[in-house]
Chain A
Amino acid sequence: MATQTIYDVIVVGSGASGGVAAYTLAAKGLKVLCLEAGRMIEPHKDFHNHKPPYRWRYRGHGKPGQYGKLPQGMEWKINEWTDQLYTIPHDDPYALAPGAKFTWTRLRAVGGRTLVWGRESGRFGPLDFKPKSMQDGFGEDWPITYEDLEPYYDKTEALIGMSGGGEAVYNSPASRNALPAFNARCGELLIKKGAAKLGMKTVSMPLAVLSKPYDNRLACHYCGACNFGCDTASRFSTLEVLFPKMQKMPNFTLRTNGVVNRILMDRNSGKARGVSFIDTTDNQEYEVVGKAVVLGASMVESLRILFNSRNREFPQGLANSSGTLGRYLMEHVAFNQLSGFFPELAGRPSTNDDGPGANSLYIPRFNYAKKSDKFLRGYRFTVETGCSMGPGPGAELPGFGSAYKKRIKELYPAAVNIGGYGEGLPFEWNFVEIDPDGLTDRFGIPQVRFHTNAEYDNAFALRDEMYGQMEEILRASGAELLPYEKRNPYPMGSVTHEAGGARMGDDPKKSVLDGWNRCHDIKNLLVVDAAAFVSHPEKSITLTIMALTIRASEHLAEELRLNG
């Protein structure tokens, strides 16, 4: 039998957490294996961010019904531009408990969802790490503070390359290592003025997109189609920024098409000794061994692996002596945007408002001084304005014929959509488990069942508050609001910011991971993706995932260096 390589670290996943972990560890000289479930991506072949709708057979929508019934939040993601990237839900179904909803967005390829992500990269603030002790007593505190993570936020920003975000507001620290902010569109400036009348501050959005060349990457060329990929590495993805660096390191190995199904344990030491995985090219199962295992497979997949690794010592799931594995799942409170138009912008010539593919400005949480008796925590707003790939607000108006057509053209450059996210609360009863009815994927790996419900009281209360604020902001900005229907808070996973299930904490009875992302029960097994999260503020979470990952990986590297 051939001698098997013993890696220092086996990293599962290649996205925002796995990719960043692999890079951090490999850059320290460790022997790293990164296992990615999906295939390698070649930007010039796999991204179609310059293909206009009329060059697709079905104008980008696919054949009617081709993608099956898509859950809320996926219908805009999967189209002819992206259907080779995402997992189509009906190709790999998952289970839902009766009445439960979960939108599970999967992208199995090197880079994971960093290939198509929203690119908002703000930091959490001090209050976000201590919501229980510093805000209102609900939920749990993180076992770390903002100050603990601050140097890693600095490192992450410098690593990924980003622009804007330089204005600090209360509990929303500024980006430190950012390139100049992108310019704002007319509509954004009108919103800023309107919001100011209401006493709300509008600030620069920190984006993981380059406004200038950086790190041998090109600046953004403003095609605005980042959701379909990026052919110039101008927006951060682990694929285009980290993997080329890693591929130059002889101590690094990437193995694609490897779906990890279980963590292997050493019975004597009680430590992890490696993983087993299915090679999707030959459907065979393989084992690899290492001194440590880092799970960065994305929240749901990491939880799934831990559950599927259960054994005699951990019958409720590996590293689950607390019983909290899979529980306290969280997501942003999200719902439909409000649409309208600015009469003062109507009829102007079209401009490129796609720009760097995301809003340059946003309204951060401001409701700190005045505590509401209706809801806990807070919310923030973003706007999309101006010309876009769609016909704009005029198309929603009643009518047909020449007047209708002229109104579409007139209102096309005047569009405004305002949306927001509210903080999601952790509840013990929002959880995921392995499907008890035995659902598996096509490799025979037991699949998950969600018991999740985003329609709880605090979510409705935040939503109502936000609808009201959004209407006021539009009015104060001089916009006309189109009629809208109130929608229930969207299912968990709809905005692809699902978090929790293996939360960090100081108390091993109430958490899965310690303050260094190590399982309390198995110290050489780490979880670095959003499963580790303890709270879910209104802010975007990816920068925090990456900063936590760098911190945990550097700590692990130091441990391995000291202990051999």
Chain B
Amino acid sequence: MSPAITKTQHSTADLHDKRERLLREAGLKNPSQLAKIASERVLTEEEEALAYELESIAFLLGEKPLRIN
């Protein structure tokens, strides 16, 4: 692959840890809390970025599709 692409192979444990950390840093217990915020108001850029990360993690883990925003 060209240097313009970085490939990262995750383990499922890495992704679970990452999700836990992201939620903890944002002061959230689970992704549905962010989905509830998105239904009530426009998400900030930070929240939207977090939503994308959580959606991607759910997809990579093969979980039920998650759509926050």
- Is the A/B pair a real complex? no
Please list the residues of chain A having a beta carbon within 8 angstroms of any beta carbon in chain B: none
